[in-house]
Homo-oligomer: A and B are copies of this chain.
Amino acid sequence: MKKTTLGNKNYFAPNPVVLVGVNIQGKPNYLNVTYTGIANRTPAMIFIALNKLHYSTSGVREDKAFSINIPSAEMLTETDYCGCVSGKDVDKANLFHTFYGLARNIPMIEECPLNIECEVVQELDLEGSNVLFIGKVLESYTEEKYLADGLPDIKKINPILFSINDTNYYSIGNNIGKAWDFGKNCARIDNRKRSVVSVP
């Protein structure tokens, strides 16, 4: 084995790319966020880790609410732009059509294929650069054209991925297997050292 060390930096990739929506002083603002993921299965919860200095952070703290908007790769320019400029300086709401769902204080982006409305149930100061918010999912929104068999289809959504290692954006690739179904091959993996079933 020839492992080389990289130090205590974040080389965790790929990362999802979402636009976090929040009202600040009554106006919608959208921030490009890649420090995000699922936090809980039941009830459904999502976490975001925001830089303490970001304009949006004060808004999430105040409203105890935010939205997750999943942009498609066709929206890459606007998505990147939302990570380039601050809502302090620029009115980013003008880039999109905003809509509201169950809550009147959680702005969402109509153009994004998938929107998730969240209520903050936990805020955690990590004593570093970021503050972590955990949001309970109130409701999710999509359009019929993004569904397959009643579920949001990842290829139709065409989301953006991020590699924090080299700060490049990527598209989603091919379907390479069904989870747990694939696991039926498990029976073919026995407990010999490094016995491997080759992936077709």
CB–CB A3/B186 < 8 A: no
CB–CB B173/A177 < 8 A: no
Instruction: Give A96 Cβ to nearest chain B Cβ, in Å.
Output: 7
Give the nearest-CB partner of A10 in chain B. Answer: B44
CB–CB B185/A4 < 8 A: no
Q: Find A38's partner among B15, B44, B124 (CB 8 Å cutoff).
A: B15
Residues of A within 8 A of B (CB): 1-16, 34-47, 49, 51, 68, 70, 73-74, 76-78, 80-81, 83-85, 90-91, 94-97, 99, 101, 110-111, 114-116, 121-122, 124, 126, 128-130, 132, 134, 136-144, 147-149, 151-154, 157, 159-180, 182-183, 185-186, 189, 191-199
Instruction: Give A111 Cβ to nearest chain B Cβ, in Å.
Output: 8
Q: Find A148's partner among B9, B166, B185 (CB 8 Å cutoff).
A: B166
CA gap between A7 and B152 in the complex, in Å: 12
CB–CB A43/B137 < 8 A: no
With A39-B49, A77-B199 as known contacts, state yes or no: A97 contacts B1, CB within 8 Å.
yes
Instruction: Give A53 Cβ to nearest chain B Cβ, in Å.
Output: 11
With A10-B41, A74-B199, A143-B3 as known contacts, state yes or no: A80 contacts B183, CB within 8 Å.
yes
A70 / chain B contacts, CB cutoff of 8 Å:
12-13
CB–CB B168/A126 < 8 A: no
CB–CB A8/B139 < 8 A: yes
A-B contact pairs, 26 of them (CB 8 A): A5-B139, A6-B142, A10-B44, A12-B37, A12-B70, A14-B159, A15-B16, A15-B37, A15-B38, A16-B16, A35-B41, A37-B49, A41-B51, A41-B129, A41-B130, A42-B129, A80-B180, A83-B179, A83-B180, A94-B194, A95-B196, A126-B134, A132-B134, A151-B166, A168-B175, A169-B177
